[in-house]
Structure 1
């Protein structure tokens, strides 16, 4: 079978609307580039952005673009990234607002991309995600941006996040305590106070040692919301 035939065979296996790249085809990259270019010119596949293609279903007004979910998944996979920002906070139940911009934390170069009416903002991630720790990273991102989450207050965000962390396994709480060390001091202090309140003080020593004892974090948080907030200099 020729290289072109191999590429066409691999492309045929993709369902309509799923985004794929040269690397996804797992064959000779030069051969893939030549044949995908040929298929694109013939209209057999569509180009999403440079190096990203899809087979389009035909609608009344021409080829139908992939769904937002498919586009997000393509960029997450390419940059080993994860969804963050308001969309992620909405999925966590922290805000009811639906964003106009989709943010993806990724290893790729930070930039904003327009795909049709969808604006995707690639932001630099702090940790390489695994499937098992994406939610933990999203929790930490939310605490880092606690003052910027719309349609809510820092106190409401903390109450909701405490509820989410309560449901985590002991292993996940331990992982959360490790991940937070790469985040801002305020984020570290918030996680430390939450874990202590949830009787997970055994995971807070490294967090406490990483903080400057003279630094105070002003969020307007009452003791009724965060029991050990004052001990972690959160006021």
Structure 2
């Protein structure tokens, strides 16, 4: 699969564009970007992708979900432990959020991702849902990551596949069971950012899905 270098095209394709500073951004990878094979808090980043989905699917409906949130007001919900999750979006419209993050937290989020469970795929086997989600993510051909005006490169290395299948509804208190679920996508883990204001742009595009998100993070 040929993943292009960071480009404004993905954000333009959904009717928006990055701030002008990105046009002159350095090609050097952001210092906060952690290599994709690095283990954080005892978990591989593939394991963190399963945990991210369990967090994202733990909310009642879309009204209070950080994934559906248009402003960032819900970004603090159900955050615990050393890793703070940033949400992607439902749909393709560029989403701009502001979020206050405690200092000392790692950040983990998907540039673009997808999950398939037996309800969606019509196949109850782990093998079936794993193959279905792999085919979807194989179609991703553009990735975007910019942190404080610094553009990241070689983002195709950040593909993370959930290690085996899992129950994406595990944190719903028994309300929803989504087992087996398989997840696949391109995720980023960042070192804790310094106190103050930071801007993160991320997204991705495939043949039938796209995502474009801007976060202003206030670390304190």
Q: What interval of TM-score do these two structures reach, taking the shorter chain for normalisation? A: under 0.3
TM-score, normalised to structure 1, is 0.21
TM-score, normalised to structure 2, is 0.22
Query: Which of structures 1 and 2 has the larger relative contact order (alpha carbons within 8 angstroms, sep 6+)?
Result: 2
Q: Identify the structure with the greater strand proportion.
A: 2
- Asked which structure has the greater CA Rg, the reply is 1
